[in-house]
Amino acid sequence: METSTPAVVLDRLTKTYRSGAGKVRALRDVTYAFSRGSFTAVMGASGSGKSTLLQCAAGLDRPSSGRVLLGDTDLGTLNPVRLTRLRRARMGFVFQAYNLLPALSAYENVALPLRLAGAKPQRKEIGDVLHRVGLGDMGRRRPAELSGGQQQRVAVARALATRPEVLFADEPTGALDTGTSRQILGLLQDAKGHAGQTVVMVTHDPMAAAYADVVVFLEDGQIAGTLRGASAGEIAAAMSELEN
Amino acid sequence: MLQISRRTVRQNWALYVGCFVAVAVGVVLLGLAANAIAAGNAYANHHPGGFVFTVTGGDMAEHTERYIPEEQSPEGLQALLGLVSGICGFMTIFVVASTFAFVVAARRRELGLLRLVGATPRQVRRMILGEALTVAVAAAFAGSLLAYALTPPMLELAAGTEFSPMKLDPPSQWIPLSIASGIGVTVALLGAWVSSRRAAKVAPIDALRESATEPPRLTVSRVIFGVLGLCGAATMIAFIKPDNFEVAVTMAILVPIVFVIGMVALAPVFVPVIARLWGLVLRRSAGVPGYLADRNVWASPRRTGSLAAPILAICAIAGTLSVMMSFVGDLTYAQGLQASRPSAAVD
């Protein structure tokens, strides 16, 4: 794996939705490269296009124009089945809530992507990942028997179990209290240390964004600026400046 | 995927109760029919009955045939049960289909999540079919047990009636019940087929969409099926005047089926209303649990509708049967009137 090529490249990405009120341009000509092994936070007000950016970057939504490259692979050239295989081999996902299949235990949720890929997950491997997120003894519990923070940790463990190149997180702390949020963000920060994983996180919370190496600000579907190694205070200041 | 299917069914068993009942009832009736046929065949092998005559001339070579007069044959019972299980099989497909349409629609988000973490459309489809298989195998087993227990009393009851003039002994039930179970499971899979295809079309991005609420009360296809079913049944009753036994029997079978298809399609509209009326009573007498049940029934019309579907189906079968019975009664009476005429002689 060469470190010179970026993990994800967005190349003049435009996304236009047709809605009742007419055309909505969620992304306008966005070009950005997420470098390998980085932790990037994408920030912006609601409606700034940050979720659309994540969905296009992860191949969940097709851009109206422009390209998305994962390593050397152009996502736009793949059919749905190949896109699915690519997603389960090379990407991990964590969302705000409802990340887990309610019928499966924590252990089974973590092992699911591997099993879907036809691999036979090693007990120890899954156990290790659960241990890493601090849930070594909770593998047998169902999502309904776990707290919100524990459920998010299971989701992170699942995203880590396949050792994806890129981990996409959409408001992963949106439904959590401050203390639990810190644990989850610590785990995401930790992920980039392991095997050079790249983390792309969408958030509106400056405290969460402060865990990232780079913060990208979006406004009206365009990149309005970036900050490196900024504190929560600096990020919050930049945000309120954008909004005025 | 089968493991996920089993877990899902076990955790959300209430969703699948309707399906289970429909398949189980189907297997019971099929099992009884298959047992009656087996018993009849076994009887025929041991007591040939009737008389053998030789056919000469004509196009065929000389051969013998056996003529068994109606009063020596259990064909009536076999035909009746065969007919009922045929209707029941059809109903089962319909009930399973409506249950799984709901199961898939209500779980868009979960299915999207599966796709997101790497399930291919085919794997999602297999999971839904796996759920149908899980429910159907359990139901087939329960249905077979029931059919096993019911067969001796059924043969006892039928003995000496116009359905089966002689007393039939219960046959070895393994093969008939295996066949009945196999058909039950196949029928359930057929019912879930369309929904499994729809489930496979759920996009990964659906996992991210906010609304995980109940789908709309009525879809276009439900309205079409509902109106066609109700109007079709009404038209048949109003315009077809059966003038012979065959037409009458066909109508007796078709009208309740078509009517119930219409009712099941429109169940999300009217079942909650009926349940609501009952709920008013329940609220008075059952306190908070009654109140909650009432609110739930109202809030999830499609789940309520799919729970009511097998009951509607059973009503249709009972309706068909009672109409059939009255026809058979009339026919027997009519035949009695004709009995004074001389019958054809056989050389």
Distance CA A166, CA A183 (A): 20
Please indicate, yes or no, if residue A77 is contained in any of the structural domains. Answer: yes
| Paired residues of A216 in beta bridges | A42, A226
Please indicate, yes or no, if residue A1 is contained in any of the structural domains. Answer: no
Q: A61 contacts in B (CB within 8 Å)?
A: 205
Specify which of A39-43, B104-108, B295-299 reaches the highest per-range mean pLDDT: A39-43
Q: Is B33 on the interface with A (CB under 8 A)?
A: no
Nearest CA in chain B to A93: B117
Average pLDDT, chain B: 79
Q: A116 contacts in B (CB within 8 Å)?
A: 114, 117-120, 123
The boundaries of the domain holding residue A89 are 8-100+166-243
pLDDT for B17 beyond 90: no
Distance from CA of A234 to the nearest CA of B (A): 30
Cβ–Cβ below 8 Å for B205 and A85: no
- From the list B4, B8, B116, the residue facing A93 with the nearest CB is B116
Please indicate, yes or no, if residue A61 is contained in any of the structural domains. Answer: yes
Distance from CA of B102 to the nearest CA of A (A): 18
The per-residue pLDDT for B84 is 76
The per-residue pLDDT for B212 is 46
Cβ–Cβ below 8 Å for A51 and B208: yes
The per-residue pLDDT for A8 is 92
pLDDT for B315 beyond 60: yes
In sequence order, what DSSP letters do the residues of B230-299 get, joined into one string?
A: HHHHHHHHHH----SHHHHHHHHHHHHHHHHHHHHHHHHHHHHHHHHHHHHHHHHHHHHHHHHHHHHHHH
Cβ–Cβ below 8 Å for B118 and A104: no
Q: Is A99 on the interface with B (CB under 8 A)?
A: yes
Q: A167 contacts in B (CB within 8 Å)?
A: none
- From the list B109, B110, B117, the residue facing A88 with the nearest CB is B117
pLDDT for B33 beyond 90: no
Cβ–Cβ below 8 Å for A98 and B118: no
A115: three-class secondary structure by DSSP: helix
Instruction: Name the pairing type of β-strands A65-70 and A73-74.
Output: antiparallel
From first to last of its 244 residues, chain A has per-residue pLDDT tens of 445 688 899 999 999 987 767 788 889 999 999 999 899 999 988 888 888 999 999 988 889 999 999 988 999 899 888 999 899 889 999 888 778 888 889 999 999 999 888 888 888 889 988 988 888 888 889 998 998 889 989 999 998 888 889 999 998 888 888 888 888 888 888 887 776 789 999 998 899 999 999 999 999 889 998 999 888 889 998 888 887 7
DSSP state of B215: P
pTM: 0.76
Q: A88 contacts in B (CB within 8 Å)?
A: 117-118
The per-residue pLDDT for B293 is 74
Every domain of chain B and the residues it spans: 1-213, 215-347
Report the CATH number at residue A59: 3.40.50.300
Task: Name which residue leads in pLDDT, B283 or B117.
Answer: B117
Please indicate, yes or no, if residue A28 is contained in any of the structural domains. Answer: yes
Mean pLDDT of B266-281: 78
Q: What is the ipTM of this complex?
A: 0.87
Overall number of domains in chain A: 1
Torsion sign over Cα B96, B102, B106, B108: positive
The per-residue pLDDT for A1 is 45
